[in-house]
Structure formats: C-alpha cells, structure tokens
Amino acid sequence: VRIPFATAHHASIAKQVIEVDRELQPQAVKRVLEVQDDVLVATFSTLTVRLARLTLNAFLENVDLVVRTISEFGADSERRPT
Amino acid sequence: MPGRVRRSPLKSPERAYLALGLEGSANKLGAGVIKHDVDGSSTVLSNVRHTYITPPGEGFLPRDTALHHREWALKVINDAMKNAGVSIHDVDCICYTKGPGMGAPLQSVALVARTLSLLYQKPLVGVNHCVGHIEMGREITGAQNPVVLYVSGGNTQVIAYSRQCYRIFGETLDIAVGNCLDRFARVINLSNDPSPGYNIEQEAKKGRRLLPLPYATKGMDVSLSGILTSTEALTLDKRFRADNQTRGPEDQDVFTPQDLCFSLQETVFAMLVEITERAMAHIGSKEVLIVGGVGSNERLQQMMGIMAHERGGRVFATDERFCIDNGIMIAQAGLLSFRMGHQTPLLKSTCTQRFRTDEVHVAWRA
C-alpha cells in the first residue's frame, strides 16, 4: 500500500508513529514500513485473506488518524521555531 | 504516621512548567493542560472531555470506543489548547495514558500523542491511569497521606503510599464496582446519559426496601461478580415489579428497580467501606481519599464519611470534573514524573491493558 504525503518529513513521522505498535499476531502477519521520497510504503504478508483484510483495515484507520492529526497541527507546528 | 519526616525529592521548579495530558482508556476522551509554578503550586489551565455514551441497555465495546476517540481527539485537544490560552509549542511534555484500560482506545490516543510529539519535538511521558487519579486527588484536596480508595468502571483498589510506591492493600477479585453498577443499569435499561452510575444513584434515592444480597468481602479484598448475578437474578423473581405497579391490594411483598438499585449500592458500598477501614487500621491512617468515577457518588462519600468520623478521621473527595476520567490528571502525574527526569522514548511509547499501580516508581515523593 502506498500512501502519499505532503512532504518526506510527514511521511517519516507517520512511519515512526505507526511502527511503534506490534502487529496483534506477529506470527501470522508480517509488516514492513518504509519511506520512499514523500510516500509511505507498507508491505503486508498474511497467512489468510481474512487476516489481510483485518490488518489492512486497522492500518488504514491508523494512517487516517495520523494524517488528520498532521493536517490539523502540522502548519502550527512549523510556524514557530522550538 | 510514625517515622521521620523525609524531605520531598521534588524541588520547586526554577521556571513554570506546562504539560498536555491525553486520556482515553475507557469511554471518556480527555485533554487538559496543567501548569506547575515556581512557588510549587499547580494550576489547571484547561480540562476538556467528551464521553462516548451508548444507548440504554448497551455497554461500550473497544472498536466503537476507539472510533469515537479517533473522531473527537483533534477537536478535544484543540479546545483544551484554546481554553488554556497556550500553544503546544509552550508545553514541556506530552503525557498520555499508557494503561491500564481498553487496548484499541488507548492505542488511538497514543497515536495522536506520538504524532504531536514528533511534529512539535516534545518529549512523551507515558502515565499510569490509576496514578493519575491519585495524583490529581492529592493535588485538588491537599490530603497529606491518605488511604486511597480508587473506584471506577475498570478498577477497584485500596491503595496506600510507602517508599516511592503506591501499594495495593486490597482490590476486587473479579470485576470493578463501577462495572458491576453499569452492568446492572443495563439490565434494568437505565439511560447511560450522563453515566449509568449517576442514574443508578438517582434511582437508589427512590428505593425503600433493602433486599438481602450476598455480602462478599474476602479479607482485604472484595468480590463483586456474585452480587451482580444475584441482583440480576432478582429481576427475574416473581416479586419484581419493573413498572412499579402492584397487582392488587394483596400484592405486598414486592420490590421495584429502585429498591434493587438502593440495595445494590448499600451492599457494595458497605463492602468498600469495610476494606478501606481495614487498610486504615493496618497502617494507622486517619485520612481517606476517594478517586475514580464511582467516587463522585455522594452516598459512597457519605458512608465513608461516617466510618472515617467514627475513627476520628476525614474523607477527601473531588467533584466530577476530576473524579471521572480526564486529561488533566494525566498531565499532572506526567509532569511530576517528567520533572524528576522520566520520559518515554518513542519506541517504548506503547500501551498496555494491564499496568499495575505498584509498578510505577513514584520518584517525586519521599
């Protein structure tokens, strides 16, 4: 799955945030997250189609939350030097 | 209390510190900003909360609760920052609930916390939910060294502080008291707005009969699931009148949902008062601090007050702004921890459903 971001920095943030949590069934689901330019690339391999559906749904919900957070606070976070 | 007075390791800060706290372990999503001033005082700058309320007869499930938190997180955080009148640039750390609680909702809040931490380059502090309740209770009431009764929908523990650890003296062996009350509220179809426990408290005031229910203290602990089953079984009893109507002039031995609410409250609260009293006797304390959502129940505060008064002590309780799960308590406990040098690195900023109160090293107390 390829998720484009506005900048490489944002894509990297999303990768770091999502990869902290382990997959619920690490023995049945393999996940690899990487950033290519400003795109977050997630590669999943699962034992069953059902697991693929569940894993992908959860991943997309998490990505959606991170994207909305960056969208809401991203501009403000860059406005002032910390 | 016996023993020499130790000096607190927490020095007054050389400048004002600010912390943002995010809470979402159950169905309440909270965000709050707290300020620690140079004179050692703590000020609540904002405390915003939104509760996921289910229809009557239904409880809240992890998936739907997580969805609620994801929908409301950004708005609640924005409101908290606006009410506080500060920007996230100004806070020193971002505190979030590491546990205990429900997995999916906890993780949703943690994702937002991590994202904000990376966007604004602020350190993360993972906080134990129970310690958050205790620290906020101590701060608001000023209680010195009380026995803490922590009662909510997810936890029921009697806690006392000793040597940098909140030690659990007694707890529930099965379900929490708030869980017991909420599940009974579902059986009699009470509204969940503002919370099932509040509605049970109001119904109990109209009860007139005290029905016999099993009284299950086990030494310093309590067991609540048996009482719940008995109370639910009584609703199937042929003497139960759900509509509060008697069948005729001969219909004397009947009881109503209000009677059941009253009996349930009296029984479980008496049990909680007993195990609290045991802890007080054990360590010779004269103060009781009640924290957690069920702590906002005035009947519980009243019963505890009677017991404490008989022992020459007193009860401390906070109002629903701080009793019920909120973000400011996470900010408070998190900032105390942060000022003692504790942070949670991003890779360790996970959440856990089981996080014992006594696992936390309370570095900020003597």
Is A73's Cβ below 8 Å from some Cβ in B? yes
Contacts 24+ apart (CB under 8 A), A42-48: A42/A1, A42/A3, A43/A1, A44/A1
Question: What is the pLDDT, as a whole number, of residue B3?
Answer: 58
Question: What is the pLDDT, as a whole number, of residue B353?
Answer: 95
Measured in angstroms, the CA of B1 and the nearest CA of chain A are apart by 44
Measured in angstroms, the CA of A47 and the nearest CA of chain B are apart by 23
Partners of residue B183 on adjacent β-strands: none
Are the C-beta atoms of residues B86 and B18 closer than 8 Å to each other? Answer: yes
Contacts of A65 in chain B (CB under 8 A): 70, 73, 108, 111-112
Crossing angle (nearest 10°) for helices B177-187 and B196-205: 70
Give the residue from B18, B79, B106, B119 with the most A CB atoms within 10 Å of its CB, the best one to mutate: B119
Contacts of B18 in chain A (CB under 8 A): none
pTM metric for this prediction? 0.95
Residue B349 to residue B123: CA distance in whole angstroms: 11
Side chain identity, residue B79 = D
Question: What is the pLDDT, as a whole number, of residue B2?
Answer: 56
Residue B24 to residue B132: CA distance in whole angstroms: 12
Residue B165 to residue B148: CA distance in whole angstroms: 13
Residue B288 to residue B316: CA distance in whole angstroms: 6
Do the chains contact at A69 and B111, CB–CB below 8 Å? yes
Is A82's Cβ below 8 Å from some Cβ in B? yes
Q: In what order do the strands lie in the sheet with B156-161?
A: B166-171, B156-161, B147-151, B287-291, B314-317
Q: Which of residues 48-67 of A touch B (CB under 8 A)?
A: 61-62, 64-66
Residue A35 to residue A29: CA distance in whole angstroms: 20
Do the chains contact at A66 and B78, CB–CB below 8 Å? no
pLDDT tens track for A17-75: 999 999 988 999 999 999 999 999 999 999 999 999 999 999 999 999 999 999 999 99
Is A68's Cβ below 8 Å from some Cβ in B? yes
Question: How much is the ipTM here?
Answer: 0.96
- Of B185, B22, B42, nearest to B101 by C-alpha is B22
Neighbour count for residue B252 (Cβ, 10 Å) = 8
* Residue with token string 């900032």: B335
Which one of B88, B112, B347 has the shortest CB-CB distance to A65?
B112
Residue B90 to residue A25: CA distance in whole angstroms: 39
Environment class of residue A61 by beta-carbon count within 10 Å: exposed (0-12), middle (13-18) or buried (19+)?
middle
Longest CA pairwise span in chain A (Å): 47
Do the chains contact at A70 and B73, CB–CB below 8 Å? no
Do the chains contact at B115 and A72, CB–CB below 8 Å? no
Do the chains contact at A65 and B107, CB–CB below 8 Å? no
Do the chains contact at B74 and A69, CB–CB below 8 Å? yes
Residue B361 to residue B305: CA distance in whole angstroms: 31
Q: What is the mean pLDDT of each run of 10 residues along chain B (366 residues)?
A: 72 95 97 96 96 95 96 97 96 97 96 97 97 96 94 96 96 97 96 95 96 96 97 94 83 91 97 97 94 96 97 95 96 97 96 96 94
Question: What is the pLDDT, as a whole number, of residue B252?
Answer: 82
Residues of B with CB under 8 A from a CB of A: 70, 73-74, 78, 87-89, 107-108, 110-112, 114-116, 118-121, 346-347, 349-351
List C-alpha distances in Å: B99 to A64, B81, B92, B220, B364: 23, 24, 22, 24, 20
The percent helix, strand, coil of chain B (3-state, each to 5) is 40, 20, 40
Q: Which of residues 4-33 of A touch B (CB under 8 A)?
A: 13-14, 16-18, 20-22
Partners of residue B23 on adjacent β-strands: B30
Question: What is the pLDDT, as a whole number, of residue B106?
Answer: 97
